[in-house]
């Protein structure tokens, strides 16, 4: 059986091994280190993500009342479909009914029964709503250049209704039953009869005629169905009315709306008085008489108090769309004699009033039904989509939108009322996870559309109830946000953010102020809720973790719970700051700080048998041996330190009064001593229980012991990093002890691992190729040590710079202990690296004899054999040391990369002496011999570079043996002439690089005469020649020759005269050399300054070189026959060319090489 012990291996793989040894090392000391990373508080967040809820099925309970309401709503939807009004591109009635059936999930039989019920209902009364807005560019009728316009409007019955109107009128007064007058709009509103004056029916009409608020109506009195008048707008050609009228329509398909605009000229009578008689008309008979009298009066042509006609408008009601009609309409003439101009702006829309059987009166019935329809359709759309509820954005299908649109028209629901219904419907779906972002958009539209007095009291009360419900929901969400909002889930944080945003919008809107006046400010409520939330959370955790027997453990659990809550502050604080003027972090932490301080003070003053103060004092005593209490107190210390990390800087807190630093310092010292013993015990047991582990997707060899040791070091450092020692001197001392302990653990583990490897036979007398099993043990051993070495990168975790600053500030002394800590870490790192490298060298040295044989065969392989082919036996041997598996090509498969590079380094260190030995044992051979070795070493360099995975090229340049070998091979593969040329080039470069004149300066002039092909040299003199005689002077002379001699074999060696007893001789001699104009490579003039002795050989004073390319007359150096002076610094040859001389000396069979060597020893 296998299980996971630690989440990930060294390269991100997953580590598994036998379950029996999983926790034995940790359990050996009772999980001493792991206890500090565990918390008693459950870290799992409660998943209350309602935003991921989906709707599977819609159902209602068996409550008869609820079923009846459900069926009534269904009938209302069908009734709306059956009695559609307005001109629109409507969907088929059958399709709409089918959608309603699916949305309500009703079977066919019940659907048919309810559809029949809807059809039996009395059809609704159709109403025409007219909003008279304004007119413009009217004609002027008065002498002042203006008019006093007002309007007369009404619904003209269609031709199909005339007979019925006549018959109804004939039952009364036959003299007034003029059919023609019913069809024709009134010619003039003026009448001379007292009582037959006009009356304006303006103001606001209710959506439902005959509501409770209208009171009991007079059944004998008929309202003005055919004609109504507006107010008079005085002295204007661009009147603005903004008045609303409502008319009952008999037949939408044939009835027409007609309106006249008149100029009012009667100064003695107001229009309000002029239509008073309309309220006294009973039946169509009286109305017919009125129309007749008005018309006849207009036709009489009376000039006294006559109203002038300004234009008219006629609109067919069947052309009015279901969404309403609002436009500028051109005024029409009534006859050719009429003088008309201008336009009028009207808004017309159709609505209905319902008179059903057994219908109870309710002013908000249409609103309530519209809300329920929206909610039912939305739930259906969400269920059909299968997506989470939070994904719903209010987008309904075409049938749903059509039905809701018709229902709003028939109920005369304004756009504001529709937004209100949407808010009321969707805000009630919060409990199933409706998106707060969606609610925010709806609420924004509702608030932007609302205006004072736009809603009646009942509607405002309904909104107030909704606002209160939403307000309570948000308050509860904020109260419980620590428990219900999972900060690890972005969707829940976004939902909470949008809730606050929507809540803020609602609370700060004028609509909320109107519905719920005299409320406290939003920010005040937020602050109060956050304080109350922190208080309740503290009381809950206090009750949950109450422990009278162990107050220390109780305090620990309380602190850990508070830290968990504070850990969410970075997530919630930006949200509250963005959407509220609230500092969430400061309010929350200060409240926790106050409550925790009160709790601790209460516990410290407790007189219980097991009180907090006694237990903490007992744990800090040096002679105490209660390990569990020690661990608990230290965990309290760590939790308290974590709690302090959430503070705002430079502020005072109540917990600062509680100073437990001395107690905690003593507890930390005790823990350090205990932890050291536990750590070494674990290392010993880990080595005893060592077992091979498998890392998924990797063949790198490891054993379980390295995991345990790295875990110990990591736990040690993690706990130490969380600890706080108030005394800087004590913390510095403990830091030193900690580092020493960790280093000893690592060194002890390395020694144990290598001792075990030796006992397994690794250090015995074995063949060049050791068995695969033993090689696996080797790989695991060096990999384990390397992993432990990597775990020693602890400088950042120790926070040395911060501690040094505190130490020096307190002691006013330099922190020398920091250097000791760093030296200790470096020494341990070096020790582990050396142990690994020595072990690897012990492995690679086994191949020395085989590698030496391969290098010998490489050197003496036939030149016809390619270098790569000659190297193959050698490279195969090198691969075998780390490619032992069945694939035989799995490089890097069993070793960590660093160890793999170490193996390569070891192999390079073996091969370098072998190649060097091959050169030393075979001096003076043909250059092609060394060229082959050079090419072979280049191939091996690429081999060890391994495409960037092995030894870097930069690292090769830091290996002295490699640099020396490349230099030797490069020199030996060169021809003799090239070596000689390079020899002089080096001397010339050395001369040019000299920064001081230690041996003097030689002054010469030179030019080349191309006509005579003559090089002219003037030796002028020398300065500051070194004294070589006993008298402190010299007898200098100069030797001149052209070099290399191999290029100028026929040119003589010339000398100047001897100038006795001088350090600044003047020679002033000229020498000529006949040479061709083409300068050979490295061609130059060699000047040697000698001291002349009579009895002994001449002494060397210095030498200098003149590059022929700088002499005028050669190439582009200058114009011929122009002398140029050169001040040449004298030098003494260094040992840099020693290797070249050695190579040339070794070429005994090369005449040119031997001649050059002889010239170097010539005495001048």
Give pLDDT tens digits for 729-779: 999 999 999 999 999 999 999 999 999 998 888 886 656 667 888 888 898
**Sheet harboring 702-703: ordered strands across?**
2-4, 15-18, 692-695, 702-703
pLDDT for the residue numbered 766: 57
Tokens of 231: 């107010």
Asked if 1107 and 1092 sit in the same domain, the reply is yes
Given a cut of 80, whether residue 42 has pLDDT beyond it is no
Give pLDDT tens digits for 408-428: 888 888 899 999 999 999 999
CATH at 791: 1.10.357.50
CATH at 206: 2.60.40.150
Given a cut of 60, whether residue 375 has pLDDT beyond it is yes
In this prediction, residue 57 has a pLDDT band, given cuts at 50, 70 and 90, of: low
pLDDT for the residue numbered 220: 37
Q: Which of 785, 815, 842 is where one domain is finished?
A: 842
pLDDT for the residue numbered 286: 42
Is 360 domain-assigned?
no
The residue ranking higher by pLDDT, 294 or 81, is 81
Given a cut of 70, whether residue 253 has pLDDT beyond it is yes
Q: Which of 337, 353, 369 is where one domain is finished?
A: 353
Please state the separation of Cα 226 from the chain's center in Å. Answer: 69
Give the best-scoring range by mean pLDDT among 79-88, 360-369, 457-466, 760-769.
457-466
Is 296 domain-assigned?
yes
Given a cut of 60, whether residue 14 has pLDDT beyond it is no
Q: What CA–CA distance (Å, rounded) separates 891 from 777?
A: 17
pLDDT for the residue numbered 343: 93
Q: What CA–CA distance (Å, rounded) separates 441 from 393?
A: 9
Given a cut of 80, whether residue 622 has pLDDT beyond it is no
Is 678 domain-assigned?
yes
pLDDT for the residue numbered 19: 42
Is the distance from CB of 695 to CB of 9 less than 8 angstroms? yes
In this prediction, residue 525 has a pLDDT band, given cuts at 50, 70 and 90, of: very high
Greatest extent of the chain over all pairs of C-alpha atoms, in Å: 174
Write down how long the chain is.
Answer: 1164
H/E segment holding residue 943: helix 927-945
Cis check: omega of the bond before 1044, within 30 degrees of 0: yes
| Overall average pLDDT of the 972-997 stretch | 90
Helices (H), 21-157: 24-27, 64-82, 93-104, 108-120
Flag the least confident range among 95-109, 683-697, 821-835, 1014-1028: 683-697
Asked if 1098 and 952 sit in the same domain, the reply is no
Other CB atoms within a 10 A radius of the CB of residue 36 amount to: 19
pLDDT for the residue numbered 664: 84
In this prediction, residue 34 has a pLDDT band, given cuts at 50, 70 and 90, of: confident
pLDDT for the residue numbered 1138: 86
Is 367 domain-assigned?
no
| Overall average pLDDT of the 799-810 stretch | 89
Mean pLDDT across the chain, nearest whole number? 82
In this prediction, residue 485 has a pLDDT band, given cuts at 50, 70 and 90, of: very high
Is 879 domain-assigned?
yes
Is the distance from CB of 734 to CB of 786 less than 8 angstroms? no
| Overall average pLDDT of the 846-857 stretch | 88
| Overall average pLDDT of the 774-789 stretch | 91
Give pLDDT tens digits for 648-681: 877 777 777 666 777 888 888 888 888 899 999 9
| Overall average pLDDT of the 31-52 stretch | 62
Other CB atoms within a 10 A radius of the CB of residue 231 amount to: 18
pLDDT for the residue numbered 210: 36
210 sits in the region (left: phi over 0; alpha: psi -120 to 50; else beta) called left
Angle between helix 627-644 and helix 612-620 axes, rounded to 10 deg:
110
Is 474 domain-assigned?
no
Handedness of CA 1052, 1057, 1060, 1064 (dihedral sign): negative
Given a cut of 90, whether residue 1064 has pLDDT beyond it is yes
| Cα dihedral: 555, 559, 560, 561 (round 10) | 100
Asked if 833 and 855 sit in the same domain, the reply is no
Is 499 domain-assigned?
no
Given a cut of 50, whether residue 206 has pLDDT beyond it is no
Q: State which residues form the domain around 257.
A: 125-353
CATH at 857: 1.20.58.1100
Asked if 297 and 233 sit in the same domain, the reply is yes
Asked if 860 and 806 sit in the same domain, the reply is no
Asked if 838 and 849 sit in the same domain, the reply is no
Give the best-scoring range by mean pLDDT among 65-79, 679-693, 744-758, 890-904.
744-758
Is 335 domain-assigned?
yes
Q: What CA–CA distance (Å, rounded) separates 349 from 336?
A: 31
Given a cut of 50, whether residue 161 has pLDDT beyond it is no
Asked if 209 and 248 sit in the same domain, the reply is yes
Asked if 851 and 838 sit in the same domain, the reply is no
Contacts of 820 (CB under 8 A, 6+ apart): 736
pLDDT for the residue numbered 625: 63
Give pLDDT tens digits for 867-897: 888 888 888 888 877 554 333 344 446 888 8
Instruction: List, in sequence order, every residue forming a beta bridge with 1003; answer none if it has no partner.
Output: 1021, 1127
In this prediction, residue 962 has a pLDDT band, given cuts at 50, 70 and 90, of: very high
Give pLDDT tens digits for 325-371: 889 999 998 777 778 899 999 999 888 887 654 455 567 888 999 99
Given a cut of 60, whether residue 433 has pLDDT beyond it is yes
Asked if 1110 and 968 sit in the same domain, the reply is no
The residue ranking higher by pLDDT, 650 or 211, is 650
Give pLDDT tens digits for 381-392: 999 988 999 899
Tokens of 987: 């001397």
In this prediction, residue 429 has a pLDDT band, given cuts at 50, 70 and 90, of: very high
pLDDT for the residue numbered 163: 44
Q: What CA–CA distance (Å, rounded) separates 841 from 843?
A: 5
Q: What is the DSSP track for 1085-1111?
A: EEEEEEE--SSSPPEEEEEEEEEGGGS
Long-range contacts of 635-641 (CB under 8 A, 24+ apart): 635/35, 635/36, 635/556, 636/552, 636/555, 636/556, 636/559, 637/664, 637/667, 637/668, 637/723, 637/724, 638/36, 638/719, 638/722, 638/723, 639/556, 639/559, 639/560, 639/563, 640/559, 641/722, 641/723, 641/724
Given a cut of 70, whether residue 3 has pLDDT beyond it is no
Q: Which of 842, 859, 875 is where one domain is finished?
A: 842
Going by C-alpha positions, the residue among 888, 902, 912 that lies closest to residue 842 is 902
Asked if 1096 and 1116 sit in the same domain, the reply is yes
Asked if 682 and 766 sit in the same domain, the reply is yes
User: How many structural domains is the chain composed of?
Assistant: 4
Tokens of 811: 């002691």
Other CB atoms within a 10 A radius of the CB of residue 203 amount to: 8
Asked if 321 and 252 sit in the same domain, the reply is yes
Q: What CA–CA distance (Å, rounded) separates 1075 from 1065?
A: 29
């Amino acid at each position: 059986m296998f299980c996971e012990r630690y989440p990930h291996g060294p390269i991100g793989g997953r580590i598994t091994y036998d379950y029996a040894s999983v926790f034995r090392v940790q359990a050996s000391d009772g999980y001493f280190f792991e206890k500090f990373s565990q918390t008693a508080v459950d870290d799992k967040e409660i998943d209350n993500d309602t935003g991921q809820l989906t709707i599977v099925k819609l159902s209602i309970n068996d409550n008869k009342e609820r079923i009846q309401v459900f069926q009534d709503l269904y009938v209302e939807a069908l009734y709306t479909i059956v009695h559609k009004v307005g001109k629109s591109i409507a969907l088929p009635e059958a399709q709409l009914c089918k959608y309603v059936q699916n949305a309500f999930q009703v079977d066919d039989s019940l659907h048919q029964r309810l559809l029949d019920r809807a059809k039996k209902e009395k059809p609704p009364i159709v109403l025409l709503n007219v909003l008279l807005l304004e007119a413009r560019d009217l004609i002027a009728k008065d002498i002042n250049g203006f008019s006093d316009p007002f309007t007369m409007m009404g619904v003209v019955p269609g031709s199909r209704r005339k007979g019925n109107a006549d018959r109804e009128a004939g039952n009364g007064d036959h003299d007034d039953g003029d059919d023609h007058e019913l069809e024709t709009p009134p010619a003039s509103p003026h009448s001379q009869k007292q009582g037959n004056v006009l009356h304006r029916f303006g103001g606001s009409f209710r959506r439902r005629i005959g509501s409770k608020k209208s009171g009991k109506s007079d059944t004998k009195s008929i309202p003005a169905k055919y004609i109504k008048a507006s107010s008079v707008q005085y002295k204007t050609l661009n009147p603005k009315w903004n008045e609303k009228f409502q008319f009952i329509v008999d037949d939408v398909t044939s009835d027409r709306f007609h309106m006249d605009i008149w100029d009012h000229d009667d100064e003695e009578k107001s229009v309000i008085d002029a239509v008073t008689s309309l309220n006294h008309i009973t039946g169509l008979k009286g109305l017919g008489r009125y129309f007749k009298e008005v018309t006849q009066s207009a036709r009489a042509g009376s000039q006294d108090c006559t109203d002038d006609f300004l234009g008219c408008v006629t609109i067919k009601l069947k052309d009015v769309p279901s969404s309403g009609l609002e436009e500028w309409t051109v005024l029409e003439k009534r006859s050719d004699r009429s003088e008309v101009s201008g336009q009028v702006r009207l808004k017309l829309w159709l609505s209905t009033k319902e008179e059903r059987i057994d219908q109870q009166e309710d002013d908000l019935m249409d609103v309530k039904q519209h809300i329920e329809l929206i909610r039912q359709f939305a739930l259906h759309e969400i269920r059909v989509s299968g997506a989470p509820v939070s994904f719903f954005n209010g987008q309904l299908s075409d049938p749903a939108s059509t039905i809701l649109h018709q229902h709003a028209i028939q109920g005369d629901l304004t756009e504001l009322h529709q937004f209100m219904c949407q808010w009321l419907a969707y805000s009630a779906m919060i409990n199933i996870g409706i998106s707060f972002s969606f609610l925010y958009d709806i609420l924004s539209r509702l608030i932007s559309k609302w205006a004072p007095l736009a809603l009646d009291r009942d509607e405002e009360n309904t909104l107030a109830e909704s606002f209160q419900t939403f307000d309570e929901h948000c308050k509860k969400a904020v109260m419980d946000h620590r428990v219900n909002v999972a900060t690890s889930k972005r969707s829940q944080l976004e939902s909470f953010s949008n809730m606050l945003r929507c809540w803020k919008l609602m609370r700060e809107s004028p609509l909320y102020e109107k519905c719920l006046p005299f409320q406290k400010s939003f920010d005040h409520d937020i602050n109060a809720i956050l304080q109350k939330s922190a208080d309740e959370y503290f009381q809950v955790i206090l009750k949950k973790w109450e422990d009278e027997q162990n107050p220390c453990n109780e305090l620990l659990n309380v602190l850990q719970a508070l830290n968990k809550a504070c850990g969410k502050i970075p997530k919630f604080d930006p949200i509250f700051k963005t959407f509220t003027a609230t500092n969430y972090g400061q309010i929350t932490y200060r409240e926790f700080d106050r409550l925790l301080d009160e709790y601790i003070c209460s516990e410290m003053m407790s007189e219980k048998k097991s009180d907090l103060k006694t237990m903490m004092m007992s744990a800090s005593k040096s002679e105490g041996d209660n390990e569990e209490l020690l661990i608990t107190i230290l965990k309290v210390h760590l939790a308290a330190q974590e709690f302090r990390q959430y503070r705002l800087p430079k502020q005072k807190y109540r917990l600062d009064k509680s100073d437990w630093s001395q107690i905690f310092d003593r507890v930390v010292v005790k823990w350090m001593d205990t932890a050291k013993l536990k750590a070494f015990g674990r290392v010993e047991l880990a080595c005893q229980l060592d077992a091979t582990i498998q890392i998924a997707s990797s063949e790198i060899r490891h054993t379980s012991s390295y995991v345990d040791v790295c875990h110990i070091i990591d736990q040690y450092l993690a706990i130490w990093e969380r600890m706080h020692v108030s005394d800087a001197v004590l913390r510095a001392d403990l830091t030193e002890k900690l580092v020493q302990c960790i280093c000893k653990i690592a060194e002890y583990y390395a020694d144990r691992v290598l001792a075990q490897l030796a006992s397994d036979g690794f250090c015995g007398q074995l063949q060049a190729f050791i068995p695969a099993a033993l090689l696996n043990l080797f790989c695991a051993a060096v990999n384990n040590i390397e992993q432990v070495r990597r775990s020693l990168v602890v400088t950042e975790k120790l926070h040395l710079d911060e501690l040094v600053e505190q130490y020096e500030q307190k002691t006013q002394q330099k922190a020398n202990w920091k250097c000791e800590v760093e030296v200790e870490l470096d020494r341990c790192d070096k020790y582990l690296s050396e142990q690994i490298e020595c072990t690897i060298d012990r492995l690679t040295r086994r191949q020395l004899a085989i590698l030496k044989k391969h290098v010998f065969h490489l050197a003496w392989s036939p030149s016809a054999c390619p270098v790569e082919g000659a190297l193959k036996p050698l490279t195969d041997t090198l691969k075998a040391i780390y490619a032992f598996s069945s694939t035989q090509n799995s490089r890097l498969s069993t070793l960590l990369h660093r160890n793999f590079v170490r193996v390569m380094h070891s192999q390079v260190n073996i091969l370098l002496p072998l190649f060097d030995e091959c050169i030393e044992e075979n001096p003076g051979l043909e250059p092609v011999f060394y060229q082959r070795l050079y090419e072979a070493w280049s191939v091996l360099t690429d081999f060890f570079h391994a495409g960037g995975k092995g030894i870097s090229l930069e690292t090769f340049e830091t290996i002295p043996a490699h640099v020396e070998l490349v230099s030797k091979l490069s020199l030996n593969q060169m021809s003799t002439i090239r070596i000689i040329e390079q020899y002089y080039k080096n001397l010339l470069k050395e001369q040019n690089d000299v920064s001081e004149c230690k041996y003097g300066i030689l002054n010469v002039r030179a030019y080349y005469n191309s006509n005579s092909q003559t090089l002219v040299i003037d030796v002028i003199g020398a300065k500051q020649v070194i004294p070589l005689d006993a008298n402190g002077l010299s007898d200098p002379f100069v030797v001149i020759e052209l070099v290399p001699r191999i290029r100028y074999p026929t040119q003589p060696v010339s000398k100047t005269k001897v100038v006795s007893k001088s350090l600044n001789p003047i020679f002033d001699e000229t020498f000529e050399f006949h040479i061709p104009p083409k300068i050979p490579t490295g061609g130059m003039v060699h000047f040697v300054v000698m001291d002349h002795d009579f009895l002994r050989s001449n002494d060397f004073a210095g030498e200098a070189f003149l590059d022929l390319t700088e002499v005028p007359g050669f190439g582009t150096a200058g114009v011929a026959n122009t002398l140029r002076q050169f001040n040449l610094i004298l030098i003494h040859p260094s040992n840099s060319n020693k290797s070249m001389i050695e190579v040339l000396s070794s070429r005994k069979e090369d005449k040119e090489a031997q001649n050059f060597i002889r010239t170097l020893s010539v005495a001048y």
